[in-house]
Amino acid sequence: MASTRQIRYRDAGVNIDEADRAVSLIRKHARSTFNPRVLTDIGSFGGGFELQGYKQPVLVSSADGVGTKLKVAFLANRHGTIGEDLVNHCVNDIAVQGALPLFFLDYFAVGRLDARVAGEVIAGVARGCRNNNCALVGGETAEMPGLYSEGEYDLAGFIVGAVEKRRMLTGAGIRAGDVLIGLASNGLHTNGYSLARKLLFDVAGYSAGQRLPGCAGTAGEELLKVHRSYLKPIRALLDEKLLKGAAHITGGGITDNLPRVLPRGLGAQIDTGAWEIPPLFELLRKIGNVPEQDYRRTFNLGIGMILVVGRRNLDRSLALIEKLGETYYRIGSVIEARRTRVVYR
């Protein structure tokens, strides 16, 4: 039966006027990342980017999200850094293959659009792009009533970078005896949040605004620390032809991520006493009596990136890393192994 009253899109849960306000905010943030190679404006059907300065370019791409770290942002009502997490995660994933980021696109989906929240999220995306010299050339803001709970949203990102084919970082030159340098993380980054939230909020009963024992901040502050970008130290070592391989320590920890860059017949030996595991991780282990294997495969435990360098180039490599002000640890070495795996001692 036909309705006797007029039913608008807004009656179905989609507010086009609010979407226009959000796009206006997003356009401002995105334009702040533009450079002369961006050929289209926000609002085009596709983003145009001119590739310059490469002889044999290899395009390296990646797509990712920030997982259930979003739940902490909802709980703390803090949305300004979650976009920066997303960009840095994606930048790291292509940087370990030697690529420089070129451009980024985001996907922001919500049940009921709040232009203010959308603006805060995309401001973080734009800040991450500016810090990594990467252009935010477009994206999608989708309002889908009934699909997401009130006050919640999803966020994903897509990055494209480029590297000269001859300079692509594949790990093929890694040899037994090479040294593993661990660069400090800034907390959980964007992994392990399902377990961390269960332990802190469900098991231990902490609130987002409650200070955690042994930590400098509240639960919300500690869990929302920004996922670091390691682009600068990676580029510094690459430019000096010192870097043989690099592993971004995300879901799976050192155990699963380091073997991804090691050639067949090689493994890694990790000195667990080479660095002090940050208090937040130790608190989580204590609360849940987390088994060691799960502990090492769920969290980064204070190491966000591992760089592989030759022993004879170690001093030069460390000098460059120190010059950048990076906190680093010599955490182990590459070893011969029947199968590619990580051994802790």
Q: What is the pLDDT of residue 284?
A: 97
Q: What is the pLDDT of residue 164?
A: 97
Q: What is the pLDDT of residue 103?
A: 97
Q: What is the pLDDT of residue 20?
A: 73
Q: What is the pLDDT of residue 251?
A: 92
Residue 328 pairs with which residues in a beta bridge? 183
**Domains of the chain with CATH codes:** 9-167 (3.30.1330.10), 179-344 (3.90.650.10)
Q: Which amino acid is at 305?
A: M
Selection from 263, 72, 285 nearest residue 174 by Cα: 263
Q: What is the pLDDT of residue 233?
A: 98
pLDDT, tens only, 238-260:
999 999 999 999 999 999 999 99
pLDDT, tens only, 213-242:
999 999 999 999 999 999 999 999 999 999
CA distance 198 to 236: 39
Profile the chain (345 residues) by mean pLDDT over runs of 10 residues.
Answer: 59 64 82 93 88 95 96 95 97 98 96 92 96 95 90 96 96 96 96 96 96 94 97 97 97 95 95 96 96 95 98 97 96 92 92
Selection from 229, 54, 62 nearest residue 130 by Cα: 229
Q: What is the pLDDT of residue 261?
A: 96
CA distance 113 to 117: 8
Residue 333 pairs with which residues in a beta bridge? 179, 269
Q: What is the pLDDT of residue 45?
A: 86
